[in-house]
Structure 1
Amino acid sequence: MFISLRLKHLILPVILAICIISAITICIFVDSKPASLAASTSSDKEIKLPILMYHGIRKSTSAQNKYVISPDEFESDLKYIKENGYETIVVADLLEYFDNGKALPKKPIMITFDDGCLNNYTYAFPLLKKYNAKMILSPIGKCIDEYSKNGDKNPAYAQADWNTLREMLDSGLVEIQNHTYNMHASIGRVGASQKIGESDEEYRKNLSEDLKKFNERMKAELNITPTAFTYPYGAISKNSPDIIKELGFRASFDCSEKINHIKSEADLHELHRFIRPHNKSSAEILSKIE
């Protein structure tokens, strides 16, 4: 009996010490987990993200259609967004959320402009500054180079040049992404999709070379590397997504008109967008999904 009690007195402190050491070890492991693992926990909460898609802005009523709205219509959209608690974000904000756990607004929304029309600068840019709103601009590389050379500044048809893009970028309100260098309206294919009869190897080479060229031009002119690819016309071939990811793009945009429910970084590819046509306000679009 004496030996048994003595053993108990010896064993209990040992067990207690083991428990303490184990607890400390677990705490150290949790606190020292990699930043990437810690950041990944921020994706546990679903992000409900509506994205509006615009193209041109013109004052002429005869020019307004599915892809062209008036300056007043764009301003009404910005007013609605602000008055209804939305806050505009760009791709960089989403990446900060997933990489570093930086909080997003309670009601995030994206404004995107495709093609890079000069009238985006003429009419949309001043309104962004007025309402302190952000937008994502996806211009076409070859058009930028051409209009940087010819100097044409007619907002009815001209495209933005490098100086214009530089000014918009420097404002901190405009993020610029890749919309192909010269595959937007290439003969024989829809947007940047695979041509009929084009082998997978040829398509990979052609798409990769085009997008790399535009990335290189943006690095040279604007000192940026695009993080997202905007599919022209929303045309996506079976091999497109893998190529886009292999090229290092962390997000992409299509033209499917539905809201995004983002749970992980993988959901940043093929983000859906609602086109904002003339005579159908963003209030009509957003009220149906709120």
Structure 2
Amino acid sequence: MENRSGILLLCWTIVVISSPAFGATNIYVGGVADGHDSFDCRVKVGYPVVNNAGGATNVSETNAWINGYLVSTGMAETSVLVGWDTTDKGTNLTWGNMHSFGLQPDGSPLTENATGLSAGTTYFYRFCASNALGHISWAPSTAVFSTDATPAINTGSGAAPISFTTATLAGNLYAGISANISMYWGQDTNNWSHTNHLGTRSESTFAIRITGLADGNTYHYRAYATNDSGEAWSDIASFTTFSLFNGMPLFSGGIADGFDQSLACMVTERPRGSVFMIH
């Protein structure tokens, strides 16, 4: 563009475009008087973007693959690290365990094999990225996982309550986080006649009620647990159902005056015939 004094003026257009998705800003400079750009400069200036990917995988009793993903470097050299611990340290560099991946490019999948973990323990981890511009970014949230553990199980408080033909069998899964539970019971501990499957249970107490028992008989039971880390059996517990002929009231009178429920009228042996009282 030329003014009245004959001096050529250069007109520049500067457009700033913010791109939150990449934590960066694009700057475009151009537009000289002849309609041709003198240069085209696009620069990403911003923070790196990193996340914890899909969480931990291949988790065992003492190992886990800790996964992350570097989405963007912010157009500057970026190094990535990950921290893990049994407590969530948030966005502080105070994690009990840390691993550096060094410099990484945009779109880098990241995995660290964390070893020496404790079985049956909850762990937290979080990725962090810092670039040459001095910007530091953390994954949006902390990832959580629990290591596997071999189950441990017992018969809890035993069998109670017990009646003539029923009983409630108790158990307790006290290690293993979760496991598939079964109860085996019967009168022969070498050949269990009945099995009740309770499905997957978390660590806690549990109980089942069994029926169809014979009065005055001794029964045994034990609990079984299995998960990906192993299996476990409880000790054997025993109980005896109530007997109809062991001091328990069986027959109570029926005299004409209507007072047929007093303990004095009750006997502990089955009558051999019918008794009629006529007034």
> Under a length normalisation based on structure 1, what TM-score does the superposition of the two structures give?
0.23
Larger relative contact order (Cα-Cα within 8 Å, sequence gap ≥ 6): 1
Q: Which is helix-richer, 1 or 2?
A: 1
Q: Which is strand-richer, 1 or 2?
A: 2
